[in-house]
Each structure stands twice: as C-alpha cells, then as structure tokens.
C-alpha cells in the first residue's frame, strides 16, 4: 500500500485491457501519452456500422431516431438527426459554478475514451480520434462544479467535453490559458466534427467523472494511510506510549488484514527507539494502558485500509465496464439498459469520506495530547519554549480541529439523497458526482491534519532530548525540516520561541503530499505496507 512504481511517463494503450488506477493517475496528473490499439479501432468501426444500419429502420431506436429522457417517445426524422445530437450536447452542457481541476477533467476524458474504444457505443472513428487528440494536446474543456446528478452518467460534465468536439465551448490549453475551443482546435491543427446518430449519447452517458475522482482518491489515500501509520507511531513514541500493543500475535487475534498491516508499519517505525527503551521498566513506568487514540491506531487505520481496498475493487470493476445507453452488445444488438446509474461508485466514495474523517479525527486527538501538559507525560504546555509568553503549537491544533469538524460534515452520504429529474423519467439518481467532489475536499483535509500531527509529534520527540528517537523517526523529522518554507535554520520541527507558524505547517503538508514522509521512513524500515 506504500509508494508505487513510477508509471507517470509510461504510455497507456486502450482497448486490450481495462485501465488501472495507476494508469488513470498517470494520464490525468502526469500527462502520460495515450493510444488506442488496432484491435479496438476495428471494434469501433464494426459497432458504428451497426448504428448506421439502424438509421433508416422504421422501428424506433433510442438515441438514434428518438428524443432523450422523457422525450424518448418522440420520433426524430432523418433530416433532423444531426441537429438532435448537437442539441443534446448543447442543452446538457449546463454546468455552473467554479471550474473543476484539470486532473479531474483529464481523468473523465480518458475514461470516456476508454469506453468509446470498447466498440460498445457506436461512436464514429473520426469522432473518437478527435477526442483522443484533445487529450494528447492537453486541450482541457472547462467543466463546472455543479450539474451532474450521477445518473444517466455525469451528463453535464461530459457534455462540456463533447461540446469541444463540435468546436464550441471553452477550454484551457497546455499552458493553462483559457479560450474558445474553436481557436484551440485550430491552433493544434484539429477540425471539429458534426455529430451523427447516437454519438451525442455515446459521448455523455457514463460515470466517468465520479470514477475518475475515485481513482485519484484511491491513489492518494493509499499513501495517506501509510503516512497516518508513520504519524501515529511517532506520536506513540513522543508521548512515551507503548508499542507492545502492536505485537503481531495480539493483532492476529483479530485477523483483519488492514489492521495487521498498520500495526506492522507502526512497529517498524518505532523499532530501535531509545525514547521507547527509556520507559520499558514496569517498575519505573506505572502507566498500564495508553489512550485509545494511541493504542487503537491499528484498528482504526486498518478499518480504513480495508474499506479502501473495497473501494479499489469497485473502481477496478468499473474500469472494466462499457457504459452507455443504448449499448451495442457483443452479438450486435442495440439495447437500452441502466448501467449508467452511479450507485456502486457513489457508495464507495461516501464510504471513503467516512473513514478518512475518522482517521483524521484520531490524528487530531493525538496532536491534542501533545499540547496538554496533563496528558503529554512531561512535555511543556503546547510544546512552547516559554509557556505563557509563547503559545507554541496551540493554534495548529485549532486548525486541525476546524478541518476535522468539516470532514465530519462531509462524511454525510451524498448517495443517500435523490432528487427526481426529467419529468420523473429519471426518478432515482445516485449523486455520485457530489460524493466525489466532497471526497476530494476530504482527502485534502486529511493531508493537512496528518501534516499537523507530524509537525507536532516531531517537536514533541525533539523535546525528549537528550534521548534519541527511532532511526525512522529521525529520518522523517529531517524530511519535514527540509520541506516547505521553514523560517528557522534549526528546522520547522525545532523547539524555540514562537514564529510565523503557517509556513511550517505548509512544509509538513508538502512533505505528506509529495510522499517524502513515507519515503524518508522507508529509507530505514524498508517498504511499508
């Protein structure tokens, strides 16, 4: 579950195997190149031939010769069908609010391209080639925060992308400059397309936005949960807690795999700590049990890990899906279906919001213990150099507490809500896009809470001098000191008079975000799981 092999520059080929979470991240975040296999192009042409064969059929076919949603019973004559597709995209590009992040839009585009490349949607080859070119040229459609109900796909976000294929709408180019899509296409030597039968639906009917955000969250949370183990171990060490409760035989009595992995990580980080060795004598150390936020860290972190593993499995299943309505089946039928409903993805997005809120809550409690002289086992109040004159890290805990409070609010499930739409034709929706958006905010919040715990634990450990910390702890402290904008030559974690604290916090957050906390620990421990 720790740092993964770097695949950020590895080319991704669509059409032969489902995408992985790592490939989605590589394309979305690191702009890895993308291509489509020859076999996939063959399937695209075959399915398009099936759609073309239905164009003159006297039997109505949804999205080919009918309207959409509640208007599905309206027959559309041949001469109006290009207008039908154009009108679909224009009317559904109804997003509002702030722009969505580039990496989210790129993930959404990649996943829609992957589905189109399955040959199950009836897209034309030239339309798909243009979509692929947009991704390669880093022409990123402007997609907005609001607009998707997570059923019938992420309609508005995907429509803003489809609009660009028509030479309409707004984009950002590779430099981040915002402008009209027609100009961006022309600058890249690309020509817009005129959509034909079924193509509008094929472009907008999928769970790609919520799935893309799930993939990004799974990737980030894998790193963050290992970071949480490192932070918890450092807190146990700095608060003169015991690692005896992390013993493998005790963990085996409750055989949850995530719990076992978390406890193993914590044992590795504390291993060889002179601070820990200083209070092993049961006659000198009268404390029988540590507080839950220390003693039960493997149980909470482990439950989060197991939930994350479930979410990753769901992401894997969805990455293997071909979602459209209607869909071209393997035997050539064109059938309506409900596979666009985002419930399976929405549920795990909400599950993850719950567990990250709880991991952050436990982290903040460990931070608070360091700052309370009645519970910190001999450390000065708020880890201040001159308590009273100095406030130490008092307000860092406020920051963490404020974030945790918000994370608890964000843990309320979006998927439990549903507002009917399309004249009651679409009478149950998943709200998966909303679940994904709040999870992204939650991932950022957990990152910051862990950064504050690490900063606090590092200072607490340093205040145990002349006792030395565990080698892994020392490596992490050095990494935090080297990160960001520490304003003291001694480093962000060094005890001393009060100084401008925000840069020290941001330095610790950067060390978490960039993975340097885990990497530093692993230089001593070896791979953390």
Question: Whole-angstrom Cα distance, residue 94 to residue 244?
Answer: 57
Question: Whole-angstrom Cα distance, residue 335 to residue 331?
Answer: 11
Question: Whole-angstrom Cα distance, residue 450 to residue 267?
Answer: 19
pLDDT of residue 317: 97
Question: Whole-angstrom Cα distance, residue 413 to residue 410?
Answer: 8
pLDDT of residue 153: 81
At which residue do the structure tokens 């709200």 appear? 431
Contact in structure between 340 and 347 (CB atoms under 8 Å): no
Q: Which residue is catalytic, options 62, 131, 292, 347? A: 62
Question: Whole-angstrom Cα distance, residue 123 to residue 200?
Answer: 9
Taking the CB of residue 250, how many other CB atoms lie within 10 A of it?
A: 12
For the record, the structure tokens of 48 come out as: 């398009």
Contact in structure between 259 and 303 (CB atoms under 8 Å): yes
Residue 141: phi and psi, rounded to 5, are: -60, 145
* CB-based burial label for 389 (10 Å; 0-12, 13-18, 19+): exposed
Q: In what order do the strands lie in the sheet with 140-141?
A: 140-141, 170-172, 178-180
Q: At what angle do helices 516-525 and 257-270 cross, to 10 degrees?
A: 70
Question: Whole-angstrom Cα distance, residue 268 to residue 246?
Answer: 10
In which element (H, E) is residue 44 found? helix 38-54
pLDDT of residue 227: 98
For the record, the structure tokens of 391 come out as: 């406030």
pLDDT of residue 428: 82
Contact in structure between 334 and 327 (CB atoms under 8 Å): yes
* Residues 6 or more apart whose Cβ sits within 8 Å of residue 37: 13, 14, 15, 16, 117
Question: Whole-angstrom Cα distance, residue 99 to residue 110?
Answer: 18
Contact in structure between 418 and 428 (CB atoms under 8 Å): yes
Number of H helices, E strands in the chain: 20, 9
Question: Whole-angstrom Cα distance, residue 162 to residue 203?
Answer: 6
pLDDT of residue 59: 73
Give 344-347 contacts, CB < 8 A, sequence gap 24+: 344/314, 344/317, 344/318, 345/150, 345/207, 345/210, 345/211, 345/214, 345/314, 345/315, 345/318, 345/430, 345/432, 345/436, 346/150, 346/210, 346/414, 346/415, 346/430, 346/431, 346/432, 346/435, 347/314, 347/415
CATH of domain 214-328+337-525: 1.20.200.10
Q: Where are the domains of the chain?
A: 12-206, 214-328+337-525
Q: At what angle do helices 155-165 and 102-116 cross, to 10 degrees?
A: 80
- pLDDT tens series, the chain, 529 aa: 544 445 667 999 999 999 999 999 999 999 999 999 999 999 999 999 999 888 777 677 776 766 666 566 667 777 777 888 899 999 999 999 999 999 999 999 999 999 999 999 999 999 999 999 999 999 999 999 999 998 878 999 999 999 999 999 999 999 999 999 999 999 999 999 999 989 999 999 999 999 999 999 999 999 999 999 999 999 999 999 999 999 999 999 999 999 999 999 999 999 999 999 999 887 767 677 899 999 999 999 999 999 999 999 999 999 999 999 889 999 988 888 888 899 999 999 999 999 999 999 999 999 999 999 999 999 999 999 999 999 999 999 999 999 999 999 999 999 999 888 877 777 788 889 999 999 999 999 999 999 999 999 999 999 999 999 999 999 999 999 998 654 456 788 999 999 999 999 999 999 999 999 999 999 999 999 9
Q: Is 398 a catalytic residue?
A: no
R_g (Cα) of the chain, nearest Å: 26
CA atoms in the 13 A half-sphere facing the CB of 232:
34
| DSSP result, 187-240 | HTT-------TTHHHHHH-SSHHHHHHHHHHHHHHHHHHHHHHHHHHHHHHHTT
Query: Could you tell me the CA-to-CA distances from 4 to 1, 206, 217, 224, 318 in Å, in that order?
Result: 8, 29, 15, 13, 22
- CATH level 3 topology of 12-206: Fumarase C; Chain B, domain 1 (1.10.275)
pLDDT of residue 3: 40
pLDDT of residue 485: 56
Taking the CB of residue 62, how many other CB atoms lie within 10 A of it?
A: 18
């Amino acid at each position: 579950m720790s740092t993964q092999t770097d695949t950020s520059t590895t080319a991704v080929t669509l059409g032969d195997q489902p995408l992985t979470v790592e490939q989605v991240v590589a394309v979305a975040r690191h702009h890895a190149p993308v291509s489509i296999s020859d076999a996939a192009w063959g399937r695209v042409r075959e399915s398009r031939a099936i759609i073309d064969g239905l164009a003159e059929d006297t039997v109505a076919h949804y999205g080919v010769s009918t309207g959409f949603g509640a208007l599905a019973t309206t027959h559309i004559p041949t001469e109006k069908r290009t207008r039908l597709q154009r009108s679909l995209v224009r009317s559904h590009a109804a997003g509002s609010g702030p722009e969505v992040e580039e990496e989210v839009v790129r993930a959404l585009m990649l996943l829609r391209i992957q589905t189109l490349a399955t040959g199950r949607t009836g897209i034309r080859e030239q339309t798909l080639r243009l979509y692929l070119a947009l991704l390669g040229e880093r022409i990123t459609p402007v997609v907005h925060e609001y607009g998707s109900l997570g059923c019938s796909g992420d309609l508005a976000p995907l429509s803003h992308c489809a609009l660009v294929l028509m030479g309409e709408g707004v984009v950002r180019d590779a430099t981040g400059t915002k402008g009209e899509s027609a100009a961006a296409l022309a600058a890249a030597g690309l020509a817009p397309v005129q959509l034909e039968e079924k193509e509008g639906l094929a472009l907008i009917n999928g769970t790609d936005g919520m799935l893309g955000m799930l993939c990004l969250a799974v990737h980030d949370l894998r790193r963050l949960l290992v970071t949480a183990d490192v932070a918890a171990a450092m807190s146990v060490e700095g608060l003169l807690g015991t690692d005896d409760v992390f013993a493998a035989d005790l963990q085996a009595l409750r055989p949850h795999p995530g719990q076992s992995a978390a406890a193993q990580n914590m044992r590795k980080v504390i291993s060889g700590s002179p601070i820990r060795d200083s209070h092993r004598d049961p006659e000198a150390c009268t404390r029988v049990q540590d507080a839950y936020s220390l003693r039960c860290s493997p149980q909470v972190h482990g439950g989060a890990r197991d939930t994350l593993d479930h979410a990753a499995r769901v992401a894997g299943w969805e990455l293997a899906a071909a979602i459209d309505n209607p869909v071209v089946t393997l035997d050539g039928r064109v059938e309506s279906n409900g596979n666009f409903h985002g419930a399976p993805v929405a549920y795990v997005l909400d599950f993850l919001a719950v567990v990250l809120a709880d991991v952050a809550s436990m982290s903040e409690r460990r931070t608070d213990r360091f700052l309370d002289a009645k519970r910190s086992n001999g450390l000065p109040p708020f880890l201040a150099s001159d308590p009273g004159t100095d406030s130490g890290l008092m307000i860092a805990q406020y920051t963490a507490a404020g974030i945790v409070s918000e994370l608890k609010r964000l843990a309320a499930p979006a998927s439990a809500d549903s507002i009917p739409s399309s004249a009651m034709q679409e009478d149950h929706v998943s709200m998966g896009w909303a679940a994904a958006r709040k999870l992204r905010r939650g991932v950022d919040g957990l990152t910051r809470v862990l950064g504050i715990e690490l900063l606090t634990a590092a200072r607490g450990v340093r205040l145990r001098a002349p006792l030395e910390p565990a080698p892994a702890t020392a490596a992490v402290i050095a990494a935090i000191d080297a990160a960001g904008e520490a304003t003291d030559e001694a480093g962000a974690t060094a005890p001393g008079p009060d100084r401008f604290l925000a840069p020290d916090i941001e330095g610790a957050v950067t060390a978490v975000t960039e993975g340097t906390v885990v990497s530093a620990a692993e230089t001593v421990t070896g791979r953390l799981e």
